[in-house]
Amino acid sequence: METKIQKRKLGKSNLEVSALGLGCMGMSFGYGTIADKKEMITLIHKAVESGVTFFDTAEVYGPFFNEELVGEALAPFNGKVVIATKFGFDTTGASALDSRPEHIRQVAEASLKRLRVEVIDLFYQHRVDPNVPIEDVAGAVKDLIKEGKVKHFGLSEAGVKVIRRAHAVQPVTALQSEYSLWWREPEAEILPTLEELGIGFVPFSPLGKGFLTGKMDQNTTFDSKDFRSTVPRLSPENLKANQAFVDLLVQIAQRKNATPAQIALAWLLAQKPWIVPIPGTTKLHRLNENLGAIAVELTPGELQEINTASSIITVQGDRYSGGSAKLINR
């Protein structure tokens, strides 16, 4: 019998989704290869059958064809699942940010068509645009919500001041930012702010771009088209230095009859009841493994052990290379 996946609410918004979502980016963008479309549709269908109701895509993944894939795969489940997508990049090839209100509206109309839906469940600003006041961005999404084209407004990788300013114009349902055992920066200011405002948190890269699964070591190499080949943290010498994180997860996983990935996800789920990680995968066995994390109960003692051990490990290397790092707006 399948274990039913519990649901979680993203903040005070009453947007209810499965405790783990599925990040779909890697199916057609970012990791060097584009997966077989039929296989990916099968994978997305399996996720739905397993109880996943939360799927993450973006206009810029491809651009465009990841939304088309997700739209086609989820068309039979229209209204039964929550699809999140994102706006905010200039997809004409300039690779610059563009969150002008008129652009947001164009993206919404195009995304609705590609996703084959009447309304976008959750519409994130993909990265904060320093050239457009966040109040204007929130106002543009507020108008789309009034018109029934969007249900919920989200931000990604935004800092505390931006979150507060946006939330004052149009309540923010969720923040999507990187968070995992080896990127804990959100704990200082972001998580307390989200708790105070009643905003849900959707961690991306909850498995450290694959590192925390224990399947990489200092001999791992990435295809030149795989964006991870540019991530300083995943260079051979840093992979070696960061192995201590994996060793910690392996230790606890063996004791719990689980995998390192499951421990990493269970740790995230245990942090707050309004956290919904979105691990991505193109492999069915990985999907099943990730969903197995929901059944892993970490005791307060084990959580303390993980926190203590991981707090004394210093992460080596930045999480993005120079160019991409500029897009992270604090």
**Helix residue spans in the chain (DSSP H):** 37-49, 65-74, 101-115, 134-146, 160-169, 190-197, 236-256, 260-271, 284-292, 300-311, 322-325
What the block records as the tokens of 190 is 């972001």
Active-site option among 61, 124, 179, 320: 61
CA atoms 144, 326, 271, 134: torsion sign: negative
The single residue listed with the structure tokens 């160019």 is 323
| Residue 299 DSSP class | P
Q: Is 153 helix (H, G, I), strand (E, B) or coil?
A: strand
State the Cα–Cα distance between residues 329 and 127, nearest whole angstrom: 7
Closest CA to 202 of 138, 157, 163, 246: 157
Phi, psi torsion values for 285, nearest 5 degrees = -65, -30
Q: Is 97 helix (H, G, I), strand (E, B) or coil?
A: strand
Q: How many residues does the chain have?
A: 330
SS3 of the chain: helix, strand, coil, percent, to 5: 45, 15, 35
The single residue listed with the structure tokens 């051990």 is 309
Phi, psi torsion values for 257, nearest 5 degrees = 55, 45
CA atoms 310, 312, 316, 322: torsion sign: positive
What the block records as the tokens of 287 is 């999907």
Q: Are 18 and 275 in contact (CB under 8 A)?
A: no
Say whether 179 is catalytic.
Answer: no
What the block records as the tokens of 100 is 């002008």
Closest CA to 70 of 86, 89, 57: 57
State the Cα–Cα distance between residues 73 and 310, nearest whole angstrom: 39
Q: Which residues does the annotation mark as catalytic?
A: 61
